[in-house]
Amino acid sequence: MVRQRRPFQIGAWVTLAAAVVTAALTVLVAVTGVLALTGKATYPADYSLGALQFQDTISVQVMDVSPVCQEFDIYQLDPNEYPGDGSFCYKFVQDGGEQLIRDGVVHQEPSLRPTQAVLTGEVQLTTTGGWNSWVAAQVVKKVILWTVVTVWLVLLWRLLASAAAGNGFSTRTVRYLRALGWLTIASAALAPALEHFTSMYVVDGIHFVSYGMPSLQPWSTYGGYPDGVDLVQVSLGGLVLLVAEVFRHGASIEDERRLTV
């Protein structure tokens, strides 16, 4: 019996260690944010503890949407020359073989050809210290997300610890499963809300402007909330709630068995 519970014991200890790490990171993110907003620290902030290294950064998601050239001269490929009339396009082809080149001009003729490029990425920002409302919103967002992860791990730890103690089918286990399910669903709705209400379009903070090509633009959920809810995560939370009902039925049977004995 003890050997059968060993996987639950190992899982409980591993989950507890992960919860302690995420809780420490949450505190570190909060402290760094306070120091940065009061002018006593700057982003990015680097931390190291032996072999462990951690960098706290502030960044903004950016994107660029431009068409792909359907015809272009291979002898005019200077990447530093961008037309100012909005006619820029990426010179990106499926096949660079000679069959696509006629008189030095590449033609997009295959059955599978690129027509538009949507480039997304991340621009890391450096701060000089001091108050900024958008930076404050990013700090709050990160603290909330790390707190949710920590709470989720704590609930999972308690669930595994209960199973390791031989109380797999119990009222306490059902409560932990229900809490995990509802937290999973709530976090799926929370994530896009945080992205929206902490975006630079909503918060009175810094706005970015891009000149030239490629034209990087901040990627925000402005105008899209509540779009972006992860339906897979919602379904996973619902599945956990169904499992909780199965465990509730098992707990009832276990209680009846104990009363009978």
Query: 3-state class of 109 per DSSP?
Result: coil
- pLDDT band for 202, please (50, 70, 90 cuts): confident
| Identity of the residue numbered 1 | M
Question: Which residue matches tokens 């096949």?
Answer: 95
Q: What are phi and psi of 144, to 5 degrees?
A: -65, -45
User: Residue 152 contacts by C-beta under 8 Å, 6 or more apart in sequence?
Assistant: 180, 183, 184, 187
Tens digit of each residue's pLDDT (9 = 90 or more) over 174-196: 999 999 999 999 999 888 888 88
Residue 74 tokens, joined: 């291979």
What element of type H or E holds 10? helix 2-37
Q: How many angstroms from the chain centroid is the CA of residue 84?
A: 36
Residue 29 has pLDDT above 60, yes or no: yes
Convert 234-253 to b/e letters by CB count within 10 Å (16 or more is b): bebbeebbeebeebbeebee
Residue 230 has pLDDT above 80, yes or no: yes
Of 130-134, 195-199, 242-246, the least confident: 195-199
Tens digit of each residue's pLDDT (9 = 90 or more) over 60-118: 888 888 899 888 888 776 655 555 556 788 888 887 666 688 888 888 887 788 999 99
Convert 58-81 to b/e letters by CB count within 10 Å (16 or more is b): bebebebebebbeebeeeeeeeee
Determine contact, residues 53/46, Cβ cutoff 8 Å. yes
